[in-house]
Amino acid sequence: MTGKIPSQQHAMGSARRATMRRGVAALGMAAGLIAILALTPDASADASAISFPMVHSAGVATCLPNAGGQVTISSLGAVELMRVTVSGLPANTDFDFFVIQLPTAPFGLSWYQGDIETDGQGRGEGTFLGRFSSETFIVAPGSGPAPIVHPAAPFPDASLNPPFNPIHTFHLGLWFNASAEAVAAGCPGTVTPFNGDHNAGTQVLNTSNFANDQGPLRQVVPGPTASGLVISPASGRYATNQNFDLDILVFASGTVVGGHITVDGVDVTTALAHCIVPGTLVSGGLTLKCPGLRGGIFSPGIHTLSVSLDLSGGGGTVSDTVIWNIDAATGP
């Protein structure tokens, strides 16, 4: 996918490059951005935005050998935005997503985030807003009564919590919402407490590709709250025969001093920097446009585009991530 981007740029011809040069001359901020982006190929350099894979659990290695996921976390300062895409799963099936202490059994402390439902191709996505960083933890300074909402076996609600000191939860896990759906997919019929009614199925994906004490959320350093950045087109469903302009809107007055752009976790900074045409927002800020792209530069499937820019003058880091579900299409 990323290999197609440079050839798309060459096809645009010298006219666009001339336009870009004129725009850069008029906009020092944008010129600095293009120069800096071209020299910043390592997406891991900025820990306020990371992308990493989830791997299939050992228990589904035989029944779902192609199961996998991709997670992108962007710091928004006060909170983080986490986008999760999954594939290789049973079609039209509900799964439950958790932030957990340990990636595999016994899992430790676990925090229910929400559901991810797959489409007819076994692909799904979820977006979650919260504290997903090196500061993610659970604490119980003392014991206290807890409400009993789900009293049924095998995992009834506890009526009292045990006290414990802060415990970090840096891992992620995904479970079948129902053991019957796991069995239908040829997977173990284990019943677990990992859904809203405490009667979920077996774990499907986790972050056991990271050490127990080095979960991926530990790599995210919360950034200071900064002016915003918006990517257009927004997250959504598009076709390979669509034409579109990639627009990056920066609502900030500082100078861009660094940054990176990734697609599905692969750095494409240099490729996209050469097609950018800069502009300004009348209300204050910067626009970066890569015009005349086509959905066909992406293979059909779910793709994640992340942009993170560092600003001078205490502006902090601005970032945004979009998830595009690309459908194969024919015609003009």
Per-residue pLDDT of the chain (332 residues; tens, 9 = 90+): 333 333 333 333 333 333 333 333 333 334 444 444 443 333 333 456 788 999 999 999 999 999 999 998 877 667 888 889 999 999 999 999 999 999 999 999 999 999 999 999 999 999 898 999 999 999 999 999 999 999 999 999 999 999 999 999 999 999 999 999 999 999 999 999 999 999 999 999 999 999 999 999 999 887 654 457 888 888 788 888 888 899 988 877 677 788 889 988 888 888 887 888 888 877 778 888 898 887 778 888 888 888 888 888 776 788 888 888 888 888 76
In a domain, 231, yes or no: yes
The answer to the question of residue 165 being in a domain is yes
Sequence-distant (≥ 6) Cβ neighbours of residue 92 within 8 angstroms: 117, 118, 119, 120
Confirm whether 193 is domain-assigned.
yes
Burial of 84 (0-12, 13-18, 19+ CB in 10 A): buried
Question: In the chain, count of helices (H) and strands (E)?
Answer: 5, 19
Q: What is the pLDDT of residue 170?
A: 98
Give residue 77's pLDDT: 67
Indicate the number of domains in the chain. 2
Same domain assignment for residues 291 and 269: yes
Q: What is the DSSP letter of 175?
A: E
Residue 152 falls within a domain, yes or no?
yes
Residues 54 and 30 in one domain: no
Is 88 domain-assigned? yes
Q: Are 199 and 234 members of one domain?
A: no
Rounded to an integer, what distance in angstroms lies between the CA atom of residue 212 and that of residue 209?
A: 9
Query: Per the structure block, which two tokens stand in for 198?
Result: 């405490």
Cα 2 vs. chain centroid, distance in angstroms? 18
pLDDT at 44: 38
For residue 276, the model assigns a pLDDT of 84
DSSP letters for 104-165: STT--SEEEEEEEE--TTS-EEEEEEE--STT-EEEESS--B---S---TTSPPPSBPPPEE
Buried b (16+ CB within 10 A) or exposed e, 43-60: beebbbbbbbebbbbebb
In a domain, 81, yes or no: yes
Asked whether residue 212 falls in the same domain as residue 273, the answer is no
Residue 17: CATH number of its domain: 2.60.40.10
Residues 78 and 114 in one domain: yes
Q: Residue 315's domain spans which residues?
A: 4-46+224-327
According to the model, what pLDDT value does residue 301 have? 85
Q: Which residues pair with 55 in a beta bridge?
A: 68, 206
Does one domain contain both 187 and 311?
A: no
Q: Report the first-to-last Cα separation within the chain, whole angstroms.
A: 20
Same-domain pairing of 42 and 54:
no
Looking at the fold, whether 143 and 210 belong to one and the same domain comes out as: yes
DSSP secondary structure letters along 35-90: HHHHT---GGG-TTEEEEEEEE-GGGTTT-TT-EEEEEEEE-SSSEEEEEEEESS-
In a domain, 23, yes or no: yes
pTM to 2 decimal places: 0.62
Where is the domain boundary, 194, 219, 244?
A: 219
**Do both 126 and 88 map to the same domain?**
yes
For residue 99, what are the contacts with CB-CB under 8 A and spacing of at least 6? 110, 111, 113, 132, 136, 169, 171, 172, 217
Q: What is the pLDDT of residue 259?
A: 86
CATH code of the domain in which 67 resides: 2.60.40
- Asked if 49 and 273 count as a contact pair (C-beta separation under 8 A), the reply is no
* Domain end among 168, 195, 219: 219
Structure tokens at 26: 């008029």
Using the 3D structure, point to which of 187, 219, 251 is the last residue of a domain: 219
- Do 8 and 62 lie in one domain? The reply is no
Same-domain check for residues 201 and 276? no
pLDDT at 224: 55
Q: Is residue 332 part of a domain?
A: no
Q: Distance between CA 3 and CA 297 in Å, rounded?
A: 9
- My answer on whether 266 and 296 are in the same domain is yes
